[in-house]
Structure 1
């Protein structure tokens, strides 16, 4: 059987590949930022959903082993992104056993799909597969899934939007990276609403339009591919950006002894001077788990590990520049002694922390010295 890829197929495949790669990275970084796990699962759910469309587009649905492949993942997407918004709002969010109740519709539908697949696999003749699954109300069940999806999308977007709005309004002043994360959340919510509205319109039009108008669903899945590509790339870029939390007295839950150890390591031992310093290596030095260290930093400093270390490195560079070390070392030499790996990362982080370039900082302080 010869398979020809159209532009639509290619765009969907690019979205799927990007989504899978970025999701794996996000899952690995979920110890730094818990919301990464839900974002990764949401992306993978979209990827899984688009694979269903590829079966139809590549004419694989009637091929034995491909047709009726169990896929009801669309019902899991609304609660996944709802929990993503919850975990963004509260960095200490914990998924509890009762939260699995939100996924009951998905589990029921997926179980039914698995049964249909097993039954359909009993014959290799597609027409016989149709007869068997039609007798077991396959099409009616899939239509019911669509209604459930529309209801769930509306409910979870409404309540997720309320959580997001209540969190963003009144946030403390943020830095450039955190502003980027807030912008991403707003765009993501808008895209999810747009996708949901387009799905409702397409499903409604199915009742009045014939198969010649099925390009509408190609457009729908092209949009999904574009959304997957966008949230995968930006989600990966913001994987370590922790938004500041509103004052909710969580500070009282922080172990002060860990804060004291951490302050000693940063202020006295200057661990940040080691360019190979990682969350895991510092946690080992402090004799605590990396998860506990990460959550402590997030709760106490309202930032992640990398931001805390980079801030200390920038302060050390500023201190050395003001002490006149440029007389003996180049700017890059000072940066590397303070723990930066490269010139590019040093310039980027310095400007992000101070809003000016290192050379502008030097120039400003030279002017100040000359005016005294």
Structure 2
């Protein structure tokens, strides 16, 4: 079973790297999810090294991983916050998240300050008796106390975000992609909760407080619930990339335009970076990709490096139109400009339709008439 830990750690490092490099609209959420898997990968690798009897060959991989381990509740908390709010907001009370991390910095720093008298005996004892390493005393706490505090904080974070999670799950239930995101968040939160409870019970037994898992040795229970489960759910961010994008939020804000100040009107705006999205749309329009016959919402999303449903949501909220209407509106502007410049003097309407991204004259003429209430030939006569 020990080899499962090595497989899980390798998979986790690959997955975290993919998440760090992946371009998404909700970069904060992707970063914190990648950080979580990275910490988990270090955890799995060290467990493989120590419990597998390989610590003597990799002595440098010891003690210091306690620092990232004790930070595991931080990416968990901020990942959910980034999903819920599409942004990260710092509040003073969040400093409590860093208490386990601070304790580990103090204890690890103390051990490395006195390598001969403190570090070497701890290392040698872990090589000889890896199953007893949780009983080692550092400066402030024993290692089992560090583990206990870490997972109590881990459990506390999950309970704190639970009401927010339940409220978030109610939003946009009719949206297919939001439904996928909801399933992922429920699964992810549930696995984290099971692991936190299992880890707390396991370390309490190691501390002699309870006696439940006598038949499991070397942390087999924790290893099984953690690494096998996270190995399986680690596939989801790759198989369903839409869960990395979050969920677009609509925020009601007061408009700053003079017209809206005069009329005291509030406008619904997109919860993502409005300026960034409009800039990307403008760059895309400058390339005139909308004139290509195969230009659709999927291709637009690829060009803008955004999920398709975010683009649709933005166009509906900001411009009040569908993607198809937005695309045809741009095409008609080009068509009118070409007609005004005399394009139809030497070319047919079929040629004009192809120039504007339409496969047939019929679809072009219908769209043009819907836009201008005139056929292309009538519009040309009016211009003349």
Fold shared by both chains (TM-score > 0.5): yes
Report 1:255-274 matches (<5 A).
255=274, 259=278, 262=281, 265=284, 269-270=289-290, 273=294
User: RCO greater where, 1 or 2, for CA within 8 Å and sep 6 or more?
Assistant: 1
Check 1:260–1:218 CA distance in 2 against 1; reply closer, same or farther (3 A cut). Answer: closer
8 Å contact 1:195–1:223 — kept in the other structure? yes
Check 1:126–1:85 CA distance in 2 against 1; reply closer, same or farther (3 A cut). Answer: same
Q: Distance in 1 between matches of 2:85 and 2:34?
A: 18
Q: Give the drift of 1:67.
A: 6.8
**What is the RMSD computed on CA atoms of the aligned residues?**
4.6
Check 1:116–1:123 CA distance in 2 against 1; reply closer, same or farther (3 A cut). Answer: closer
2:20 maps to 1:19: no
- Superposed CA offset, 1:89-117 (max 9, x none): 12233568985662342143045225425
Q: Could you say what secondary structure the match of 1:55 adopts?
A: helix
Check 1:187–1:258 CA distance in 2 against 1; reply closer, same or farther (3 A cut). Answer: closer
Q: Distance in 1 between matches of 2:199 and 2:174?
A: 37
2:248 maps to 1:228: no
Partner of 2:71: 76
Check 1:301–1:199 CA distance in 2 against 1; reply closer, same or farther (3 A cut). Answer: farther
Q: Distance in 2 between matches of 1:40 and 1:148?
A: 23
Partner of 1:202: 202
Check 1:222–1:117 CA distance in 2 against 1; reply closer, same or farther (3 A cut). Answer: farther
Check 1:246–1:171 CA distance in 2 against 1; reply closer, same or farther (3 A cut). Answer: farther
Partner of 2:44: 50
Q: Give the drift of 1:232.
A: 2.1
- For normalisation by structure 2, the TM-score amounts to 0.60
Check 1:31–1:110 CA distance in 2 against 1; reply closer, same or farther (3 A cut). Answer: farther
- For normalisation by structure 1, the TM-score amounts to 0.62
Q: Give the drift of 1:271.
A: 6.5
Partner of 2:192: 192
Q: Give the drift of 1:247.
A: 3.7
8 Å contact 1:12–1:50 — kept in the other structure? yes
Partner of 1:36: 30
Q: Could you say what secondary structure the match of 1:248 adopts?
A: strand
Q: Could you say what secondary structure the match of 1:76 adopts?
A: coil
8 Å contact 1:15–1:229 — kept in the other structure? yes
The count of corresponding residues between Structure 1 and Structure 2 is 293
Where in structure 1 are there 5+ consecutive unaligned residues? 1-7, 283-289, 304-308, 317-336, 339-372
Q: Distance in 2 between matches of 1:269 and 1:109?
A: 54
Partner of 2:178: 178
Q: Could you say what secondary structure the match of 1:235 adopts?
A: helix
Rg (Cα) greater in structure? 2
8 Å contact 2:26–2:86 — kept in the other structure? yes
Partner of 1:147: 148
8 Å contact 2:16–2:37 — kept in the other structure? yes
In structure 2, which of residues 111, 125, 145 is the aligned counterpart of residue 116 of structure 1?
111
Where in structure 2 are there 5+ consecutive unaligned residues? 127-132, 254-267, 329-356, 359-384
Report 1:2-17 matches (<5 A).
8-17=1-10
Check 1:280–1:226 CA distance in 2 against 1; reply closer, same or farther (3 A cut). Answer: same
Q: Give the drift of 1:217.
A: 1.3
Report 1:330-349 matches (<5 A).
none
Q: Could you say what secondary structure the match of 1:249 adopts?
A: strand
- Superposed CA offset, 1:151-203 (max 9, x none): 3123101112222111112335212x432221111011111111111112212
Check 1:61–1:201 CA distance in 2 against 1; reply closer, same or farther (3 A cut). Answer: same
Partner of 2:367: none
Q: Distance in 2 between matches of 1:65 and 1:81?
A: 29
Q: Distance in 1 between matches of 2:136 and 2:197?
A: 32
- Superposed CA offset, 1:9-29 (max 9, x none): 221111111111111111112
Q: Distance in 1 between matches of 2:189 and 2:252?
A: 28
